[in-house]
A and B are shown apart, each in its own frame.
Chain A
Amino acid sequence: MDGLKRGAAAIAGAAESDLGQVADGMSPMDLCAQGISRALADCGLALKDVDGLFCAMTQQRMSIVSLIEYLGIAPKFIGSSMTGGSSFEFHVAHAVAAIQAGLCNVAVIAYGSTQRSVGRKQASQREVNPYETPFRPFLPASAYALAASRHMHQYGTTREQLAAVAVAARDWALLNPAAWEKKPLTIEAVLASRMISYPFTVRDCCLVTDGGGAIVITSAERAKSLKKPPAYILGCGHGVTHMNISSMPDLTVTGAKAAGEAAYKIAKLSAKDVDVVELYDAFTVNTILFLEDLGFCRKGEGGAFVSGGNIAPKGGLPVNTNGGGLSYCHPGMYGLLILIEAVRQLRGECGARQVAKHDVAMVHGNGGVLSAQASVILGTGATV
């Protein structure tokens, strides 16, 4: 994606829909529409300004078509790439390309899920793989657990270090009024929780909640004229290595490496320039793998890096400041919510959880079982 121009477009508006447990009968499309309405209000635009539309979800097979029907608009450019939880990071790159090419001016990316209300099985149908399904892996958890087993074997990573990720996420969540989890968590409590797929207890696994939201992307020029300071899109990149965990080439190295490198190259930045990291923590091992693969520490040192509160509030590197998929909200395809949090951090809107220096944010989405990785680097006006 070298053709993407650094800072050519920006996220101008961002908002969550209702989160956690939504009202009875609320549909994924209702949540998309809530998010869109709030995100447009956030930047001072209206539905009539939207001429680009992106959507992905598990509960509607043709979600972009359903969303066009719901909104009653006729966008000039639409996209619905489906890579699981990283779909929205892909959509950001596609929206920038479309805006650069003059195919649309104001692109909205939306998501909604009622997986808590309707049940996870109902929300997301499992596919049968004749080479995996007979062995009854508890997916997605078992796939990530297999990766964790490999990281522990090769690098001596411990269950306590995995638990430190969950505790840091909880500490951030306690500073976020919108977070699902409201009580403190300790490493001991993580280890003593119900085992799901070794080495993961239920506290190493993301939440199952409802939720959604939307972001509004427009040209840098137009974004400057809107209500809020733009979050400039400095770089995008992706790496897709497999679909099923049995086809992942190396369980300790993810497509985040290629994704991050591509995004840094366009952004002309490196990990040391990043002030805040919002990454997709479906399981505790994700945070360790992605911090390594995105260059925040060396391969194999992620366990030590996340320990001792280093990624928690007041730590060395703020990671998942909303509380993450582990403690804030996880509606199934969480990747849109990390873009929203990064925008708010860059603007300085985050109250008790606001990080002190907030010019550059790394947003990293994960889809499938470490399968489809996509990075988006965002920056304030000071970076362009």
Chain B
Amino acid sequence: MPNAATSPLATYISHLEKGELAYQFSPAANRAVFFPRVICPFTGSDTLEWRISAGRGSVYATTVVYPAEGAPFNVALIDCDEGFRLMNRVDDVAPEQVKIGMRVKFRVHRPGGEEPPMPVFSPEAA
């Protein structure tokens, strides 16, 4: 069998470069899979489809990190409407104002330099 042409991570990042939040879907399990991988963690199937999220979800859990230096910032777990969860942050709102259940929408953040693009969220209402 030839080697895989691309990795799950590279595919994920290539979608972000196009402004898309991609996730995998397992037909065998009939459910979303995240983080991206080469086999389905629910069935072991090696058939995983790439899908593009609508980029809407809600905050599942949230914390505010208080670094030794610099301003406090938010870290959250987001449940996307397609049924997958990812670690992220909610921008455009004070970190302590991020609440569980808050509706949020995705956009791409480009840190620049060597850093790949990353998904971030902001309140849906904003």
Contacts and interface: CB of A to CB of B under 8 A. Distances in A.
A137 B35 CA distance: 17
B9 A149 contact: no
B75 interface: yes
Contacts of A130: 9, 116
Nearest to B109: A134
Interface in B51-88: 60-67, 72-73, 75-77, 85-88
A246 interface: yes
A126 interface: no
A247 B62 contact: no
Contacts, number: 76
B11 to A, nearest CB: 12
Contact of B61 (A134, A138, A146, A247): A146
A208 to B, nearest CB: 14
Interface residues of B, number: 28
B66 A197 contact: yes
B118 interface: yes
Given A135-B89, A138-B67, A150 B75 contact: no
Contacts of A247: 35, 85
B63 A246 contact: no
B108 to A, nearest CB: 12
A135 B62 contact: no
A142 B75 contact: yes
A299 B115 CA distance: 42
B64 A197 contact: yes
Interface in B96-111: 96, 100-101, 111
B66 A146 contact: no
A244 B66 CA distance: 21
Contacts of A131: 34-35, 86-87
A194 interface: yes
A194 B66 contact: yes
Interface in A174-222: 194-199
Interface in A242-273: 244-247, 251
Contacts of B111: 134
A138 to B, nearest CB: 5
A147 interface: yes
Interface string A130-165: 111011111000100111111001000000000000
A141 to B, nearest CB: 8
Interface string A49-92: 00000000000000000000000000000000000000000000
B87 A137 contact: yes
Nearest to B118: A134
A196 B65 CA distance: 6
Nearest to A247: B35
Interface of A: 130-132, 134-138, 142, 145-150, 153, 194-199, 244-247, 251
9 smallest beta-carbon distances between A and B, as pairs: A145-B63, A146-B61, A198-B64, A246-B87, A153-B100, A195-B66, A132-B87, A131-B35, A150-B61
17 contacts: A130-B116, A131-B34, A132-B87, A135-B88, A135-B118, A137-B65, A146-B62, A149-B61, A149-B63, A149-B100, A150-B100, A195-B72, A196-B66, A197-B63, A197-B64, A197-B66, A244-B87
